[in-house]
Chain A
Amino acid sequence: MDHKVIGKQFLWAGLLFLLFGGTLAMMIRWQWAFPGERVPLLGDIFLSRTGGRITPSNYNSLFTMHGLIMVFFAITPILIGSLGNFLIPLQIGARDMAFPLLNLLSFWTFLASQILVIISFFMDQGSGAAGWTTYAPLSTNIGTPGHGQTLVVCAIFVTGVASIMGGINYVTTVIRLRAPGMTYFRMPATVWSLWITAILNVLYVPVLGSAGLLLLLDRLFGTQFFIAGAAAVRGGGDPLLFQHLFWIFGHPEVYILILPAWGVVTDMVSFFSRKPAYFYKGSVYAMIIVAVMSGLVYGHHMFVSGMNPLLGQGFQLLTLLISVPAELLFLNWLHTMWKGSIRPTVPMLFALGTIFVFGLGGLTGLYLGTISTDLYLHDTMWVVGHFHLTMASAVFLGSFAAIYFWFPKMFGRTTNESLGRVHFWFSVTFLTLLFCGQLLAGYAGQQRRLYDPFQYTFLQHLLPLNRWTSYFAFLLALGQVPFIINFFKSLFAGQKAPSNPWEIGTLEWDIPSPPPYHNFEVVPHVVRGPHEFNNPEVKRALGRDWIGQAELLPDAENRQEAVAASAGKAD
């Protein structure tokens, strides 16, 4: 029931499903480069029934489950489940979560949902195939009658319950269990971001839950919430209702996923520039504003759903406004690095990579938030490229930054620096090339989700572009091998990590790696913020450029002695 163990369990579960979701992505990319041809290596394992080829119905399952697995079963456990569980108590100076039992329950509930996903692949008509958004009526019995889809909807609901349990725990823990002196603005940005994320989870995941429940009622008990048209009785319900419910949750969800990465980046940038985070309160307020606004912009996912144009304009305005706090964060990151003594460690590289790809993703999003351009770009590969740059690239680079940074604390071993660098350069290069390739294809008019885009004459000339994009994807996959080697090698044969390898002042680096069962022998009394770097007084007194959050400066007498001693040395 130890929060650190649960954090590690979430990490394992998430990484395993990341591998799984990535494998599905590779098969999709293969299909777009060599449509209908035998899939090498993977085909014999996963597609033996269809002779190693991807059929149209297989393909529907592939892209649906790639999206669902990545969003709900890979990113969520790694960033929120693992980081949140492991870091929140350590960084606020608590000995465990507020509700340890609920925490345990959250993990097992999550595991149950993963098992449901795996079972769904063995159903008669395959797994879910209605897209990761499970839009009705495609996701009702009319569109996807198989049990696979039902199980997947169940899995989403169950994982939602796990998220809510985790969220309640995180929110309560931060409010109630901060160590003495740990005021809200002395919390590291990572904790802030995880806390805001948890609040969003508690508020908006239940909306997805309600959509899932109504969909299950439709699928299992014959109600007609989302069925319209010929199959409907007495006019039936409204398929658009599902889109509303889904995106009321869905847009906060994208911030749920990116906020922890922002928090990690805010901390990393300060830690490895050896400078206090520039305008730290501003960064925090920016994250809060984004979180508040995230519930008000969801309509930009539905510009072409026939909504009232006036309503669309409102959503457009709010959508473009939400980029303002994000820009503040960017400026703060840049300003923190400005004239810092930057240490290009692996976590710092990944943090910089996050900033880069998130910048690209943010800029390409402006064209989707503006109605006039969205009308053309909607449902093209441009959308796919955009949200992969933000939700996939930025989020995963941020996750890797966090994994490399806290690995010593989690497992008590240090990771290999050069393998980490190889992993970083492969990842950032090919993530960028891969998703920029998709942006180009989308700009040229290639719709997303096509089984074989090249059956359309006007898309045939995009085959070389798609092939290149796929090669980049395969190289990206290859680039993850150093990570896997590094992870396991460090886990079993890495050097013993010192308690504070990065020379950072936040509370978790003040205790041994890995931390003992109850974390803090003496609950620390926090006296300063998380980013105290290059404070001249500290330098004079302690001779180093950092100081712990709970560390007291030697008192005046000692200081004078130290000054005298150093003066003596100078003589």
Chain B
Amino acid sequence: MGLSASQAPALPALLAAFANMASGRKGRMGMSRGGGPGSGGSSGTGGHSTLEGAEILAYRPPHERSEATAKLGMVLFLGSWAMMFGALFFAYGVMRSRAPAWPPIDQPRLPLATGIINTAVLACSSVLLFGALGAIRRNARAAASLLVGLTAVFGAAFLGLQMRSWSHMALAGFSPSSGPYASVFYGLTWLHAAHVVVGVLALGYLVLRTARGAYSAPRHLPIRLWSMYWHFVGVVWGLMFVLIYLV
């Protein structure tokens, strides 16, 4: 089954495994769509009906079923990752509860303005991705690839602004080893930014695929799955912003 592997980008391969469910399956689905007892989740309900060889090999659950399966996989993955970020926030809570003052009075403030802009950037990117999903559902491929591309650009802008905040803080003499406050700030934002990097790469890949016309109104599962991922990363940032910058 090299056909789906060849489409997987190297870096976000984990998520591509979900995303490729639909695109990799398209060719096969065509074969089994012909009907007959082999197509359909209830195949074999007859108990002992015999199938032609080709139909047996082409057996796959129907398109909608496999999309729901892929979405379930993505939901499980995001649930799992929510546990990881939950544990990171728990770590933050423990660190903070032990500190005599938070934030430490003699250490530089976090760049609140950049944080607010960044939150807005990610929020906008999520809205754009909603728009992209709506566009592809109307079969407006050009609009969809434009909107996905804009989302990726906004994601990249977020990363740029994050780097600005890190260098801003580093210039103020605030390095990762400047104590618990610095540990929380750098550690958590780095780990979040790593997820944005994966998302931006995936979105870039989706732009190429969309522009080449790989997705259409009935078949655009990768966009759907990656937008779930992207919104998740955005929500995590929102929490991070509130908990680390504001509270």
Given contacts A102-B14, A234-B179, contact A211 B87 (CB under 8 A): yes
Distance of A223 Cα from B156 Cα, bound (Å): 26
- For residue A102, which residue of chain B has the nearest CB? B17
- For residue A217, which residue of chain B has the nearest CB? B187
Partner of B83, one of A101, A102, A204, A524: A204
Query: Which range contains the number of A residues in contact with the other chain?
Result: 35 or more
Distance of A496 Cα from B70 Cα, bound (Å): 39
Partner of B48, one of A105, A177, A522: A522
Contact at B99–A235, with CB atoms within 8 Å? yes
Chain A to chain B contacts (Cβ below 8 Å), 12 pairs: A95-B59, A99-B73, A105-B14, A165-B17, A176-B72, A180-B42, A180-B43, A203-B79, A209-B84, A221-B176, A225-B187, A238-B94
Q: Which residues of B contact A238 (CB under 8 A)?
A: 94-95, 98
Distance of A381 Cα from B155 Cα, bound (Å): 53
- For residue B49, which residue of chain A has the nearest CB? A522
Closest chain-A Cβ to B5's Cβ sits at a distance in Å of 6
Contact at B180–A222, with CB atoms within 8 Å? no
Contact at A223–B177, with CB atoms within 8 Å? yes
Contact at B49–A168, with CB atoms within 8 Å? no
Q: Which of A69-77, A147-155, A240-248, A429-437 contacts B (4 or more CB under 8 A)?
A: A240-248
Contact at A180–B41, with CB atoms within 8 Å? yes
Partner of B94, one of A207, A244, A552: A244
Query: Which range contains the number of B residues in contact with the other chain?
Result: 35 or more
Q: Which residues of A contact B99 (CB under 8 A)?
A: 235
A225-263 interface code vs B (CB 8 A; 1 in, 0 out): 100000011111110110011001000000000000000
Contact at A101–B24, with CB atoms within 8 Å? yes
- For residue A225, which residue of chain B has the nearest CB? B183
Known: A164-B80, A168-B76, A518-B56. 8 other contacts (CB 8 A): A1-B1, A101-B20, A167-B76, A176-B61, A210-B85, A224-B179, A245-B91, A552-B47
Asked if B8 lies at the interface with its beta carbon under 8 angstroms from chain A, I say yes
Q: Which residues of A contact B186 (CB under 8 A)?
A: 217, 221, 223
Given contacts A168-B76, A223-B182, A235-B179, contact A98 B83 (CB under 8 A): no
Partner of B104, one of A95, A100, A234, A237: A234
Closest chain-A Cβ to B168's Cβ sits at a distance in Å of 18
Partner of A172, one of B20, B76, B176: B76
> Of residues 472 to 530 in A, which have CB atoms within 8 Å of B's CB atoms?
518, 520-525
Partner of B191, one of A213, A222, A224: A213
Contact at A214–B91, with CB atoms within 8 Å? yes
Q: Which residues of B contact A248 (CB under 8 A)?
A: 87
Q: Which residues of B contact A522 (CB under 8 A)?
A: 43-44, 48-51
- For residue A240, which residue of chain B has the nearest CB? B94
Given contacts A518-B59, A521-B56, A522-B48, contact A100 B1 (CB under 8 A): yes
- For residue B99, which residue of chain A has the nearest CB? A235
A42-77 interface code vs B (CB 8 A; 1 in, 0 out): 000000000000000000000000000000000000
Q: Which residues of A contact B170 (CB under 8 A)?
A: none
Q: Which residues of B contact A172 (CB under 8 A)?
A: 69, 72-73, 76
Asked if A466 lies at the interface with its beta carbon under 8 angstroms from chain B, I say no
Contact at A206–B73, with CB atoms within 8 Å? no
Contact at A206–B72, with CB atoms within 8 Å? no
Closest chain-B Cβ to A117's Cβ sits at a distance in Å of 21
Distance of A91 Cα from B151 Cα, bound (Å): 43
Distance of A218 Cα from B59 Cα, bound (Å): 50
Given contacts A102-B18, A224-B180, A236-B180, contact A176 B187 (CB under 8 A): no
Asked if A191 lies at the interface with its beta carbon under 8 angstroms from chain B, I say no
Closest chain-B Cβ to A257's Cβ sits at a distance in Å of 19
Q: Which residues of A contact B180 (CB under 8 A)?
A: 224-225, 234-237
Asked if A266 lies at the interface with its beta carbon under 8 angstroms from chain B, I say no
Distance of A413 Cα from B187 Cα, bound (Å): 53
- For residue A525, which residue of chain B has the nearest CB? B47
- For residue A163, which residue of chain B has the nearest CB? B80
Contact at A176–B68, with CB atoms within 8 Å? yes
B187-225 interface code vs A (CB 8 A; 1 in, 0 out): 100110000000000000000000000000000000000
Q: Which residues of B contact A241 (CB under 8 A)?
A: 91, 94-95
Closest chain-A Cβ to B202's Cβ sits at a distance in Å of 15
Closest chain-A Cβ to B104's Cβ sits at a distance in Å of 7
Contact at B17–A99, with CB atoms within 8 Å? yes
Q: Which residues of B contact A206 (CB under 8 A)?
A: 80-81, 83-84, 87
Distance of A160 Cα from B45 Cα, bound (Å): 39
Asked if B4 lies at the interface with its beta carbon under 8 angstroms from chain A, I say yes
Contact at B72–A233, with CB atoms within 8 Å? no
Q: Which residues of A contact B191 (CB under 8 A)?
A: 213
Contact at B88–A214, with CB atoms within 8 Å? yes
Contact at B45–A525, with CB atoms within 8 Å? yes
Q: Which residues of B contact A177 (CB under 8 A)?
A: 61, 69
Distance of A240 Cα from B47 Cα, bound (Å): 58
B105-129 interface code vs A (CB 8 A; 1 in, 0 out): 0000000000000000000000000
Q: Which residues of B contact A180 (CB under 8 A)?
A: 41-45
Closest chain-A Cβ to B164's Cβ sits at a distance in Å of 19
Distance of A228 Cα from B79 Cα, bound (Å): 32
Partner of A175, one of B49, B72, B183, B190: B72
Q: Which residues of A contact B48 (CB under 8 A)?
A: 522
Distance of A99 Cα from B60 Cα, bound (Å): 12
Q: Which residues of A contact B17 (CB under 8 A)?
A: 99, 101-102, 105, 165
Q: Which residues of A contact B26 (CB under 8 A)?
A: none
Partner of A245, one of B8, B18, B90: B90
Q: Which residues of A contact B69 (CB under 8 A)?
A: 98, 172, 176-177
Give the one of A101, A214, A222, A240 with max B CB within 10 A. A101
Distance of A180 Cα from B49 Cα, bound (Å): 14
Given contacts A172-B76, A202-B80, A518-B57, contact A237 B183 (CB under 8 A): yes
Contact at B80–A237, with CB atoms within 8 Å? no
Q: Which residues of B contact A169 (CB under 8 A)?
A: 73
> Of residues 118 to 145 in B, which have CB atoms within 8 Å of A's CB atoms?
none
